[in-house]
Structure formats: structure tokens, C-alpha cells
Structure 1
Amino acid sequence: MKFTSKTTIRGLIAAGALLGLSACANPQADQAAYAQTAFIGMPKQFLLTCAGVPTRSATVDNVDYYTYTSERLVTTPGIGPRFGVGFGHYRPWSPWYGWGVGFDDFPETETRDCQATFTLKDGVVQRIVYNSATDGQAARLGQCYRIVENCLAMVPQQPGQPK
């Protein structure tokens, strides 16, 4: 096989895409999604023991709704184009100017949140619904994981369960 510059560029693009996709993998998000099925049939006492007292609760027609909330701020440094004038790095007293990439003085702050509502009938979990304003499914489910993580530690491991 003859490698050309186009083949090399395509290979680099494909490798970069695979690396990008693997960077998006979030085991906590996988665990939170798994909890939505693994907790079906969980007794009310077990839920209260591992998840604690819900933030809100309501009962309608003998069906209990327990809502747990989780919220945190995530801060990442800003990165973007910069224009600068100053003295050179490699030639200490030579002037330089131009565009470059550097860290911004204004980091980005994002609020991640999750509300997990457990529906219980006859004292047993029937359904779990996650609600969140956080962008991106992995980020949403990753925040929901914080609600269910203590209970997941107490659920027996099943074959094929995400770790």
C-alpha cells in the first residue's frame, strides 16, 4: 500500500475522531443510565437507606414520588485567540507581535444539575426519571450519577453491567 499525503491526513483525522469519541466516554453516565433499570423493584426502605431523604416528595392515588436533586458548578479555563505585543521569548530583547493561542483570564463556569424522580407503588420503585437543564447527555447523566451512586454500590453486580 502506498501512503500519500492524503492517506496520511485521512488517517490522522480518523485517529483524532476516535480519540475524541473515547474522551467523551463517561462511566458515571453509563452507571446512571443502568440505575434506571437496576433499581426497578427496589424496596422503599432500601432507597431511603442508600439515597437518603428526598428533596421533595408527594403522594397521588397511592403512588409516591420522591425527587432527589444534585447541583454543582464546573469551571474550566477559557482558551482562545490572543493578540499581544511584547518582547520575544527566544531572543530576549527583540519585539514581537501577532496572534496566538493562550489561556483566557475569564474561565467558563457552568452549572450542572439533575433531578431524579423515583416513582414508588406499594413501597417498591417502579420508575426513575431524570430531568436536567445541563447541556450534553453525558454531563447530565454524570450529574445524576451523584444521586444514585450510593445505591449502586449496594446493588449486586450483573453480567454486562457498565463499570
Structure 2
Amino acid sequence: MMSRRARAWRPGFLKVAALGLAVAGLSACANPQADQALYAQQAFVGMPKQTLLSCAGVPDRQAAMDNLEYYTYNSQRITSTTTPSPRFGFGYGHGFGYHPWYGGYGGFGWPETTEIESRDCQATFTLKNGTVQQLIYGGASDGPSGRLGQCYRIVENCLALIPQQAQPAAATR
């Protein structure tokens, strides 16, 4: 008789584990907007203040201290996804009455589910002597990919000014 530990390492288990790792590896590349937002952190260094203001617009907040200027832009999006409930029925409308929670006429089930997701990004540009020195992202969104995808909304107009051939291959997927 095989031990419990030996059964866990059957070839079928290894195939499932390898498939899981492959899916996880591919999901790392699943958000090209997040890749572009990461690329912008490097590409915008040296960008003149006038160019930044013309493509990103007026910042939501700005501050100056010790020969440095800080421009902060905010972007927020709320989405909702409704998943229909499975419906099980006994027939159509004879004697049970209609109720949306119970699958229409003569059925049973559960209500639809709605998920609400909020994504936000704060992009802060640090400028010295009229040029961008650094771009930092922050925000309360879960996971860096979700936040970076929202940060792309802030930098997308400015990215159009960067030559395409200079972008890394990972960012152009």
C-alpha cells in the first residue's frame, strides 16, 4: 500500500503543478497597461516640465521644497460585475408564483452576485530644475497589477510622445 505522501507525488500531480506554474507565469504578462506604466517610470526621467504639463494636464496637487517640485495626479475607477445565478426549476409557473430569488416561476436558486471593485492610483512626479527626476506610484488598490493598470490612465497621453522603438519588448505585448 502506498503512503499518503507517495500518492501526492504521482505523475498526474506533477502535470497539474506544472500547468499551474505555467498559468501563473503567463498571468504575470497579462496586463500590458501595467507594463506600460512601469516603463513610464524610466522613460519620463528627463522630460521637461512643459511637456509633462501639456500631456498629463494640471496636477491635482503640487508642492515645492528645497529646489524640488512635486506634481501629484490621481486616477480612480469603480467597476461592477454581475454574475447571474444558476436557476433550477420544477416547471413554468403552475402554482408557485414568480420571485426573482427563486429562479422565476416554479423554481429555486439564489440571487445574482455583484462584485464592486475600486482601483485608484496616485502618480507623483518629482521635478528638479524643470525636468522630471522620478515618478512614483501609490494607491490603495489591491495588487500592484491593478494599481499599475489604473496608473496607466495618468501616463498614457505622455507615453504617446515617447518613440515606440525605445520601449522594451515586454511593454509592447
- TM-score w.r.t. structure 1 length? 0.76
Alignment of 1:18 with 2:22, yes or no, is yes
Give the secondary-structure state (helix, strand or coil) at the position aligned to 2:112: coil
Q: 1:112-123 residue pairs with structure 2 within 5 A?
A: 112-123=119-130
Percent of residue pairs bearing the same amino acid type: 53
**Which among 136, 146, 149 is matched to residue 139 of structure 1?**
146
**Which among 143, 168, 171 is matched to residue 160 of structure 1?**
168
For 2:42 and 2:113, the matched residues in 1 are separated by 41
For 1:61 and 1:33, the matched residues in 2 are separated by 27
Q: Per residue, is there more strand in 1 or in 2?
A: 1
Amino acid at match of 2:18: A
Amino acid at match of 2:79: V
**Runs of at least 5 residues in structure 2 that lack an aligned partner in the other structure:** 1-9, 92-108
Alignment of 1:75 with 2:80, yes or no, is yes
**Runs of at least 5 residues in structure 1 that lack an aligned partner in the other structure:** 1-5, 89-101
Q: Which runs of 4+ in 1 moved over 6 A?
A: none
Alignment of 1:149 with 2:160, yes or no, is no
CA deviation string 1:58-77 (max 9, x = no partner)? 11123111100000012233
Contact between 1:77 and 1:104, CA under 8 Å: does it hold in 2?
no
Contact between 1:78 and 1:104, CA under 8 Å: does it hold in 2?
no
CA deviation string 1:34-69 (max 9, x = no partner)? 111110000001101111111111111231111000
- TM-score w.r.t. structure 2 length? 0.72
For 1:54 and 1:103, the matched residues in 2 are separated by 46
Q: What is the alpha-carbon root mean square deviation over aligned residues? A: 2.7
Q: Per residue, is there more helix in 1 or in 2?
A: 2
Which has the greater radius of gyration? 2
CA deviation string 1:99-134 (max 9, x = no partner)? xxx995231101100000101111100111111100
What is the number of equivalent residue pairs in this alignment? 144
What residue is the counterpart of 2:134 in the other structure? 127
